[in-house]
Structure 1
């Protein structure tokens, strides 16, 4: 259950409804643990809000026929099955407007709303935040973020993952949920222009309505002024694309003030939280976490097979069998942005049929994909690039000892292990079991091998 329910979470028992509709879907399909997809759940919530299929289609940027197909094939039969299960009677669903009354009769409407949003006048600043389309397969990630920030009260959460995996989209959707459901004030800060920490703190003070006329001389004084504001509503600051102030996981010399920024964010008594997105770990935050400060490191992985299939269908790609979708998920590691680029080529050159593309038995890297992979390559250190080249040249798994022998400059085992760990984190390599007595080996992922072969001429 991933979409933002907003005020409906107070007028409908959404969690119970989602679970019961998923049960009905599983019963109809004869499959245990079959859940409503994100798309199906979005359409259900649209119906509960009184939206027609045409209005739902406009909201999610799809054709109305797609919405009607999902409603007729999945939602209407599931509602009928639920009605029969609860009342032993068959409910009549002739059109979209019959769904909400039927579910109300089944007891999913909440007539005991506990008042309005306690912070109806919360102020937010979304400047620089991108618009987000429908998310697929991110329900658990949203729940995990909510648990870490709302329940566990982590002051800083670092959301990492490779370029294109959807960190920004997830952060945006999560922040929208906190604003809509819990009245959080949201400050979105794009780090594209590499703002100094003093600028971010000044924005936080303006967001919270600071009346202070004194100019802080230090970062610590900034935080003291923030503590004194004491807003009723909690607040969340999103620092999006922290990579722009980092060099190989460490702050640029001009931005070392973020060490103090994050330490104070963890140690001072305030009602806010900081969510950071970055394609690389931040050494300083890892250090503070190990010192016991309330920091959480959260790695966002690619989509699973089911979510990949749902995304391809949403992008109007005809998937006749699961094998083709599974292959796309494996080759592109469930990266939503790479899958979107692939879908564009399939629509343009293969009439939207995944089976025709799959017949070529090739890995496609178009110009847009290459630019995304270029970004990942350029973030690697010289040693990480050298190790990648050696793996490409070998064209087979190499053990740690073999890698050490192939490198021109001597490298300690500890340093090489650190490099391999970073390459695994950025999804360049994978670990395999070698043929010699089960020895661990490392090789490039097929997509990366193709990238290096075609564009960098290292093999």
Structure 2
């Protein structure tokens, strides 16, 4: 028994200083070497030369690893591992003093939370989120939007600004995550200072134990990149030609839906924030204006804030119209603007006018970003996008119904439109110049250009 305890405590764990040092170097490498796109767990595994399970232990800082493992992680980002970057957990029963005692008092775990870096705008979004969480005590909040809109950065900024309102903060990236039973077990061990030994065997029991902690303590949990475990269009979900897969989970991950459902339905004093490119079905079923489950659709930055990204990356123009054209074309998407500004800097010496003369359209990582969205769509959804892109203007539901293929039924059209708005691929508006209550649907220019070039 003593030998087993010693094995569980063997190894070293990153200190907050060491973790921050490694995360900063990783963020800089992503910025300089990967066009600002975060490394996946697989990419990190290839770069460092360690398996994904070991990397999860390193970044989660709950289980000790060999010091040589930390050396490899630091060396992969051209860092030296200093003694103050790690500590050795004390065996059970011994008095913990100095650094280890301070670490045990820290009740946050930022996991793989990204560096927020230079943060532009989002004042209105942050204010609304704070109101929901602090004033209205929302239990489940989702940030939804296209890739690159900055959902994770907003979540980091939000968590850091309201962290003093909570006893515990936990950030978990769902990308590359294990089955839900192991996922919840990891959360429970953190709550119990890694001393939770008698965990319930069933998923229902584990969720109940988690909710018990969320009732006893004021906690903030962030589940990032939820879309990575959601299904794309799948033949098994097709019914009468329509792929009803939106918000459904990949095989083996269905338990996450039950977890979100229970977290949203059950009374507790904590808050769970979810980021996703698509809306999990539990959010759609539970959210409401006067309910404890809310969602915020994250859209592009306003022109003034988006222009700061272009200027901050060396782009210039004597004409305000040039800035406006680039921002409108890419829908104010922060990542798209960052990527395109590098191309403008590298090929056109930062000159926006010269860049726009070439009519470059959609290219590089921006095309890959949209590929990831479009590959998950059903046939009716693609038909709607093609219809809107060929018209080059907004269309009402009645207009779409008259122009779309007769093979798509009324119910399929309605379901597909809702699906596309939930996927944040089409926008909608109620212009003042048309009859009251009517809504028109339209594409951002970059999405239209992409659809026309496919």
Pick the aligned partner of 1:379 from 376, 379, 391. Answer: 376
In structure 1, distance between residues paired with 2:340 and 2:187: 40
Is residue 136 from structure 1 mapped to residue 135 from structure 2 by the alignment? no
In structure 2, distance between residues paired with 1:147 and 1:157: 11
Extract unaligned runs of 5+ from structure 2. Answer: 1-27, 32-102, 232-245
Is residue 276 from structure 1 mapped to residue 274 from structure 2 by the alignment? yes
Kept after mapping to 2: 8 A contact 1:185/1:234: yes
Alignment of structure 1 residues 96-245 onto 2, 5 Å:
121-179=105-163, 181-182=164-165, 184-209=167-192, 211-229=195-213, 234-245=218-229
| 1:307 to partner: Cα distance | 0.5
In structure 2, what is the equivalent of residue 309 of structure 1?
A: 307
In structure 2, distance between residues paired with 1:424 and 1:227: 32
- Given the two structures, how large is their TM-score scaled by the length of structure 1? 0.65
In structure 2, distance between residues paired with 1:170 and 1:314: 19
| 1:300 to partner: Cα distance | 1.0
Change (3 A) 1:271 1:451: same
Change (3 A) 1:263 1:453: closer
In structure 2, distance between residues paired with 1:401 and 1:186: 47
* Superimposed CA distance per residue, residues 30-52 of structure 1 (whole angstroms, 9 cap, x where no aligned partner): xxxxxxxxxxxxxxxxxxxxxxx
Change (3 A) 1:224 1:442: closer
In structure 2, distance between residues paired with 1:334 and 1:417: 28
Pick the aligned partner of 1:257 from 252, 255, 258. Answer: 255
| 1:413 to partner: Cα distance | 2.8
Change (3 A) 1:331 1:171: same
Alignment of structure 1 residues 392-403 onto 2, 5 Å:
392-393=389-390, 400-401=397-398, 403=400
Change (3 A) 1:346 1:291: closer
Kept after mapping to 2: 8 A contact 1:363/1:450: no
| 1:279 to partner: Cα distance | 0.8
| Root mean square deviation, CA, Å | 3.5
In structure 2, distance between residues paired with 1:213 and 1:418: 46
Secondary structure at 1:318 match in 2 = coil
In structure 2, distance between residues paired with 1:193 and 1:316: 35
In structure 2, what is the equivalent of residue 333 of structure 1?
A: 331
- Aligned residue-pair number: 338
Extract unaligned runs of 5+ from structure 1. Answer: 1-57, 62-118
In structure 1, what is the equivalent of residue 452 of structure 2?
A: 453
Kept after mapping to 1: 8 A contact 2:390/2:452: no
In structure 2, distance between residues paired with 1:388 and 1:217: 46
Change (3 A) 1:361 1:226: same
In structure 2, what is the equivalent of residue 13 of structure 1?
A: none
| 1:253 to partner: Cα distance | 4.5
| 1:338 to partner: Cα distance | 0.5
Secondary structure at 1:192 match in 2 = coil
Alignment of structure 1 residues 289-300 onto 2, 5 Å:
289=287, 294-300=292-298
Kept after mapping to 2: 8 A contact 1:160/1:281: yes
Alignment of structure 1 residues 406-445 onto 2, 5 Å:
406-408=403-405, 410-425=407-422, 426-428=424-426, 442-445=441-444
Secondary structure at 1:298 match in 2 = strand
| 1:291 to partner: Cα distance | 11
In structure 1, what is the equivalent of residue 348 of structure 2?
A: 350
In structure 2, what is the equivalent of residue 41 of structure 1?
A: none
Secondary structure at 2:294 match in 1 = strand
Change (3 A) 1:287 1:432: closer
| 1:168 to partner: Cα distance | 0.9
In structure 1, distance between residues paired with 2:413 and 2:259: 32
Change (3 A) 1:178 1:184: farther
In structure 2, what is the equivalent of residue 29 of structure 1?
A: none
Secondary structure at 2:300 match in 1 = coil
Change (3 A) 1:367 1:214: same
Secondary structure at 2:187 match in 1 = helix
Change (3 A) 1:352 1:291: closer
- Given the two structures, how large is their TM-score scaled by the length of structure 2? 0.65
Secondary structure at 2:282 match in 1 = helix
| 1:396 to partner: Cα distance | 5.9
Kept after mapping to 1: 8 A contact 2:328/2:445: no
Change (3 A) 1:224 1:414: closer
In structure 1, distance between residues paired with 2:285 and 2:392: 36
| 1:281 to partner: Cα distance | 1.4
